[in-house]
Structure 1
Amino acid sequence: MTAALFNPIKLGDRELTNRIVMPPMTRSRASQPGDVANDLMAQYYAQRASAGLIVSEGTQISEMGKGYAWTPGIYTPEQIAGWRTVTDAVHAKGGTMFAQLWHVGRVTHPDNIGGRQPISSSAIQAEGVKVFVDNGTDAPGFVLSAKPREMTVDEIKEVVGEYRQAALNAIEAGFDGIELHAANGYLINQFIDSESNARTDEYGGSLENRLRFLDEVVSAMIDAIGADRVGVRLAPLTTLNGTVDANPIETYTAAAKLLNARGIVYLHIAEVDWDDAPDTPIEFKRALREAFKGVLIYAGRYTPQSAEQALQDGLADMIAFGRPFVANPDLPERIKNNQSLATHDPNTLFGGGAKGLIDYPTFSA
């Protein structure tokens, strides 16, 4: 029984037909040169438009924000036009789509950012973290991420401005809203987590200071496009890409309260999702529910049954299914009819073309 997953829900001024989210998943199919979203991507997302909400793959807000080869941007006119092709295709199928806006900070290599040194909250390398670069073939070449330099306050203000402009660009490109990627060890996460932020100015040290960059970016985006079109993704308990916080429950409950005060439309929590990962403590989920009054989305290892339970328990308002959406373009229909789910081919996740992107059939096909 998955009745709650198919209850409609309001997201800002939009009425979503179900509570199933397609979350952001890097697929690295953007056209080169220029990192431009294309017709192949438009077909991929349109195939999955029956999700209540689609969040795009991470989309860099600037050249310096790019962490991996062939990921799309949203800072040039060509990139905006490319994304318009995608959003038009999704809207033609009745879907709702937000753009996930992304700056990777230190999780990159000079080959991906025009030969420059990465930037971060502090000059701390993400030890052992690999990214992939274009090595002249259609298969990604994995290399260790480079040591960053600490951003100046002027550079922080500049990046806040880039996020603001990216939000405006996303609306111009036809997106219904944006999701700020503040999770998984990327730039904003590098400011939030205590072990990746060694600053001694107003952006480091105390919890209030470590949340300042997040707050400034969110406030700038709200000012640009309105709070009802801004969502935020956090990953409180993951240690992806080397970011670790000494007191994550305290830190992320405070972050949720801050974002609630700003009135954002949703908070998207990425749970630890590898196979033997610990579950998020139920007390923490209750604390987040208490702290944040908007739409609360969870992602990570959910089955239709566990998703239904989370909704019925009132801990979540929507549930995101990542990898199942790769191989099941008709995932909501399959869940509703209790049909079997296809499994994806991990060898076709990143790079390449149509194979492993748009050639997964629907159940009826």
Structure 2
Amino acid sequence: MSSETGSHDNVPDDEKLPRAHEGHGETATRGEDPFANPGLPPHENRVQDVDERAAKRSERTVALFFTVSMLATVGFIASYVAFPIDKIIHVWPLGDISALNFSLGLTLGLALFCIGAGAVHWARTLMSDVEIADDRHPIEAEPEVRAKVMEDFRQGAKESQLGRRKLVRNTMFGAMALVPLSGVVLLRDLGPLPKDKLRHTLWAKGKLLVNENTDEPLRPEDITMGSLAFARPEGLDPHSEDYNTEIAKAALMLVRIEPDDIKDKQSLDWSYQGVLAYSKICTHVGCPVSLYEQQTHHVLCPCHQSTFDLADGAKVLFGPAGHPLPQLKISVNKDGYLEAQGDFAEPVGPSFWERG
């Protein structure tokens, strides 16, 4: 018994472990990967690789895609100029849609699609499709590896036939050079050029203050102490096409404060019997100011909490607004109605580059 035990102890530990492959066919050699490397399938030439006429056909197809892209970009710009923004057309099955939006989307989509389709067709039919297996290397490349990468790059550039297929190269460059013009044209939709449009409103000397709710001209007695009223210029029709554009600049806020409580002398001089008229457009991002505190004479913008003191020239007390609300000088005409004595002394709403 002792001799058998000693013999068993001399067996290496790994020999004592059960073999998982026993009874399952041929055993695997120790230290070898049990999964064989399948390798790469043999390369098969495409018709373009052996027939130059087929390669030329593919070249012309790719060039056609890029040329259509260039024409679509030109069509995008032409559509932007040709179609008015309010033109509506019927397109089945979409129904009634804007002719401008439809044409812009169609032409820009076609331009981008043709660039992608041309690139894909080029890669599938003309560029080299030989698969190469390469061992992984450390992150820090050795000089030999860097040299190999550059050589591979040069080889890839050569196999892409960019230098040889000049028609493909030139039309691709043309398509890629023209398509960014679509974005340049879209910059025009950021709004009208400032010039004088942002500096002036519809208010002018003699324009009556019309109540936004009743559509009637306002008298001083219509503005009660501690209340807030809103007005628009006489002649601005709420149903007109340019109403939203004009009221966004001309919207007026009226408040009545005891003359003795008005701190700013100019505000007092521009008021009538304590009735003050200020722009309703917040000087931060243009939200309508409308929350009034009667006891403090403060008005609050609900968007970002900019607070203005109406008793002190509508100066900014709190929040991100950059300057006070512009005041409109008012008086009363011979019929007893409130009227403007001119336009706002400064541009209304948020700051802009040319504000000065």
TM range (shorter): under 0.3
Larger Rg: 2
TM-score (norm 1): 0.20
TM-score (norm 2): 0.20
